[in-house]
């Protein structure tokens, strides 16, 4: 069981489990494929919020209080930008800005996002492989009761206030998955795929919308485990529950299991929901544990349990039936 | 005598006198045309060092100790950029960066540098008119004993160490002067042109190299006064004297007068040089005063003296000859 583990994730919530996996595994065994549907161009800069959260989190420079951006951050760029009358609805810290300026320059010079992320990961001393889901342009558009909004306009500028009617991932159908993502999903030694407790609709669906990913995920022999972002009908952070309600979906683990049906071999839910009997109705193997990750110990424990769960599922699947054993 | 005064300048040294003029004049009477030969693209950003020094100086946000950039500056962007392995030979402060990011975005969207500078001047509460010498691309190239160097590479990265053989202003011959500069130089009410004590070769020559500027300057009826950047064979700041030596020019006011011959109607030199008899050999009217500007009082006093000198020269020129007076 020394093959790689592939994690699919968005930003903050998903990055927590990715960090747990990073601590539990040999770093080189971890591959994290990250949503880029949230990426956008702002002030002429190319910004990749989810990628950056994963980089900062695994690089040990993420801000813990705020949940996004860098620790020991200052905001003098924003102050000066406001003085100049610049657009200031999206907060860019002074340290954080280095990443955006370098990314913009590098992409403009012809590098891929994969190449840039690899370079930054190395600079931050990260030994795991962090991959954008694609090097092509995919942009999550939020159709709301106020019309179409680019994701960051909806998420940051409007603080998720407009009611969501539908989500679409512009450019996804023309995109190619990152080479490393295809490689990982096709790797016969792949040990498990972990769908992190990110927003299924905003953070995981864009990854699944890149042609080939869903099929490769369904076809992989490795167990695919999703960790539900729902605990007791609530999401830890972000608009997951609000969006589910607006889309007419009940905020339950059943909904999450149904959303990932055909893709996952197991679902990890919180003890709270298991205790209230929610897990019983699920048509997929379930691991009930504490999924709330408040500190590093929570992250590593959950990571360990997810891996052990995946290994149990893999053993159950690959264990030869007695008749076969006799037959051989 | 209520017409405008046009100042030509580069960065730090010239901006000091521009600030003096700004305090002495009604702000709307001052037009400052600034060298853009030092402009460059760095990290994908459009940077205009001389323009920015003038903006920060007149806007009251320039750093006094350092002489360039903004006051209350922080450097976290640079720290983070170094961590990422980015190019860090050119220091960009966190506050300063807002100007470069906004300029880059604005120019890319099709605005002219003139439009951008006007907007920033307004945002910083500057009532004077600050103009780039041109909206076209002009780049000062320094031919040195180590080959051609872009100006900022020579000036900042190499700290003026290579010996200068020649200077050229790439793009200048195809450039058009800023509309405001042509308008000012053609304005019959123009009260004076002040060539600030900037480096004549690096800061003023690029302005004069834009087709039309030299001719308009020679043709204007307003007195043209240069303030020599040389005091006792030394320059206050920067590589003026070193460059003059490398170009085989002696670091004297005679050299400055010769350089501006045909353009200027008066030269302002320092008392030190007047006392040592240097002024006597000059073939242009001379004002000797203290040209060293250490504080705001120095700047305003010098500005007042330069204006008074210009007015005396204008009066002397326009005073009708007795025969004419009789004739009329």
Which value does ipTM take for this structure? Answer: 0.89
pLDDT at A126 over 80: yes
Closest CA to A174 of A201, A139, A136: A136
Q: Quote the pLDDT of residue B324.
A: 44
Is any Cβ of chain A less than 8 angstroms from the Cβ of B56?
no
For residue B260, tell me if it sits in a domain: yes
Range(s) of the domain holding residue B133? 5-323
Q: Quote the pLDDT of residue A236.
A: 73
Q: Quote the pLDDT of residue A233.
A: 83
Do A302 and A293 form a contact (C-beta atoms < 8 A)?
A: yes
Do A228 and A322 form a contact (C-beta atoms < 8 A)?
A: no
For residue B55, tell me if it sits in a domain: yes
Is any Cβ of chain B less than 8 angstroms from the Cβ of A74?
yes
Task: Tell me if B77 and A98 make a contact (CB, 8 A cut-off).
Answer: yes
- Residue, of A169 and B276, whose pLDDT is higher: A169
Token pair of B13 as six digits = 């040294």
Q: Quote the pLDDT of residue A168.
A: 96
Task: Tell me if B84 and A123 make a contact (CB, 8 A cut-off).
Answer: yes
A97: helix, strand or coil? helix
User: Side by side, which strands form the sheet with B139-144?
Assistant: B147-150, B139-144, B164-170
For residue A199, tell me if it sits in a domain: yes
CA A7 to chain centroid? 8
Q: Which chain B residue shows the shortest CA-CA distance from A73?
A: B76
Task: Tell me if B70 and A80 make a contact (CB, 8 A cut-off).
Answer: yes
Using pLDDT thresholds of 50, 70 and 90, give the confidence band for residue A320: low
Do B283 and B292 form a contact (C-beta atoms < 8 A)?
A: no
CA B24 to chain centroid? 18
Distance from CA of A44 to the nearest CA of B (A): 5
Residues of A in contact with B99 (CB under 8 A): 80, 84
The CATH number of whichever domain residue A9 belongs to comes to: 3.40.50.10680
For residue A232, tell me if it sits in a domain: yes
What are A147's strand-pairing partners? A144
Q: Which residue has the tokens 């004076």?
A: B192
B residues 265-304 near A, CB within 8 Å?
A: none
For residue A155, tell me if it sits in a domain: no
pLDDT at A311 over 70: yes
B residues 10-29 near A, CB within 8 Å?
A: none
Token pair of B164 as six digits = 């200068």
Using pLDDT thresholds of 50, 70 and 90, give the confidence band for residue A68: confident
Mean pLDDT of the region A89-104: 97
For residue A156, tell me if it sits in a domain: no
Is any Cβ of chain B less than 8 angstroms from the Cβ of A108?
yes
Is any Cβ of chain B less than 8 angstroms from the Cβ of A47?
no
B20: helix, strand or coil? helix
Residues of A in contact with B86 (CB under 8 A): 98, 101-102
Best of B61, B70, B83 to disrupt the A interface (most A CBs within 10 Å) is: B83
Task: Tell me if A105 and B70 make a contact (CB, 8 A cut-off).
Answer: no
Average pLDDT, chain A: 92
pLDDT at A314 over 60: yes
pLDDT tens for A261-308 read 999 999 999 999 888 877 677 889 999 999 999 999 999 999 999 999
For residue B259, tell me if it sits in a domain: yes
Sequential DSSP letters for A120-152: HHHHTT--SEEEESBSS--EEEEEETTEEEEHH
Task: Give every CB contact of residue A167 below 8 A, 6+ residues apart in sequence.
Answer: A140, A141, A142, A143, A201, A202, A205
For A91, A210, B159, the CA distances from A150, given in Å and listed in that order, are 16, 18, 46
How many independent structural domains does chain B possess? Answer: 1
Mean pLDDT of the region A44-70: 94
Task: Give every CB contact of residue A82 below 8 A, 6+ residues apart in sequence.
Answer: A88
Task: Tell me if A77 and B99 make a contact (CB, 8 A cut-off).
Answer: no
For A136, A143, B154, the CA distances from B172, given in Å and listed in that order, are 40, 50, 19
Q: Is B184 exposed, middle or buried (0-12, 13-18, 19+ CB in 10 A)?
A: buried
Is any Cβ of chain A less than 8 angstroms from the Cβ of B124?
yes
Q: Where are the alpha helices (DSSP H) in B191-295?
A: 205-208, 213-219, 240-246, 253-259, 271-275
Angle between helical axes of B94-108 and A94-108 (0-180°, round to 10): 30
Q: Which of B43, B94, B99 shows the shortest C-beta gap to A84?
A: B99
Q: Which residue has the tokens 């058009």?
A: B176
The pLDDT tens digits along chain B (328 residues) read 579 999 999 988 899 999 999 999 998 999 999 999 999 999 999 999 999 999 999 999 999 888 789 999 999 999 999 999 999 999 999 999 999 999 999 999 999 999 999 999 999 999 999 999 999 999 999 999 999 999 999 998 999 999 999 999 999 999 999 999 999 999 999 999 999 999 999 999 999 999 999 999 999 999 999 999 999 888 777 788 899 899 999 999 999 999 999 999 999 999 998 888 776 778 899 999 999 999 999 999 999 999 999 999 999 877 655 444 343 3
For residue B328, tell me if it sits in a domain: no
pLDDT over 70 for what percent of chain A?
96
| Cα–Cα distance measured from residue A8 to residue A286, given in angstroms and rounded to the nearest whole number | 19
Task: Tell me if B43 and A102 make a contact (CB, 8 A cut-off).
Answer: yes
Do B26 and B3 form a contact (C-beta atoms < 8 A)?
A: no
Is any Cβ of chain B less than 8 angstroms from the Cβ of A96?
yes
Q: Quote the pLDDT of residue B232.
A: 87
Q: Quote the pLDDT of residue A325.
A: 39
| Cα–Cα distance measured from residue A262 to residue A271, given in angstroms and rounded to the nearest whole number | 24
Is any Cβ of chain A less than 8 angstroms from the Cβ of B110?
no
Using pLDDT thresholds of 50, 70 and 90, give the confidence band for residue A259: very high
């Amino acid at each position: 069981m020394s093959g790689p583990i592939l994690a699919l994730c968005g930003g903050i919530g998903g990055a927590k489990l990715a960090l747990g996996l990073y601590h539990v595994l040999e770093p080189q065994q971890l591959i994290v494929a990250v949503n880029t549907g949230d990426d956008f161009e702002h002030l002429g800069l190319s910004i990749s919020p989810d990628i950056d959260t994963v980089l900062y989190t695994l690089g040990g420079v993420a801000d813990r209080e705020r949940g996004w951006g860098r620790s020991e951050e200052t905001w003098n760029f924003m102050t000066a930008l406001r003085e100049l009358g610049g657009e200031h609805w999206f907060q860019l810290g002074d340290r954080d800005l280095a990443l955006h300026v370098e990314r913009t320059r590098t992409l403009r010079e012809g590098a891929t996002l994969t190449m840039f992320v690899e370079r930054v990961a190395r600079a931050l001393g990260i030994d795991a492989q962090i991959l954008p889901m694609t090097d092509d342009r995919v942009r999550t558009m939020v159709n709301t009761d106020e019309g179409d909004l680019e994701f960051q306009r909806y998420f940051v500028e409007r603080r998720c206030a407009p009611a969501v009617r539908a989500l679409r991932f512009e450019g996804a159908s023309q995109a190619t998955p990152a080479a490393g993502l295809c490689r990982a999903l096709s790797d016969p030694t792949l040990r498990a795929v972990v769908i992190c407790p990110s927003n299924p609709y905003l953070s995981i669906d864009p990854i699944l919308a890149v042609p080939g990913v869903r099929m490769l995920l369904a076809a992989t022999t490795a167990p695919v485990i999703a960790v539900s972002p729902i605990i007791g009908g609530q999401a830890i952070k972000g608009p997951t529950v609000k969006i589910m309600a607006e889309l007419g979906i009940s905020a339950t683990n059943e909904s999450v299991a149904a959303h990932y049906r055909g893709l996952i071999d197991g679902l990890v839910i919180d003890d709270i929901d298991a205790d209230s009997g929610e897990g019983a109705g699920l048509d997929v193997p379930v691991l009930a544990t504490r999924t709330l990750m408040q500190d590093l110990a929570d992250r590593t424990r959950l990571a360990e349990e997810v891996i052990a769960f995946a290994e149990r599922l893999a053993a159950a699947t690959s264990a030869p039936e007695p008749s076969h054993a006799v037959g051989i």
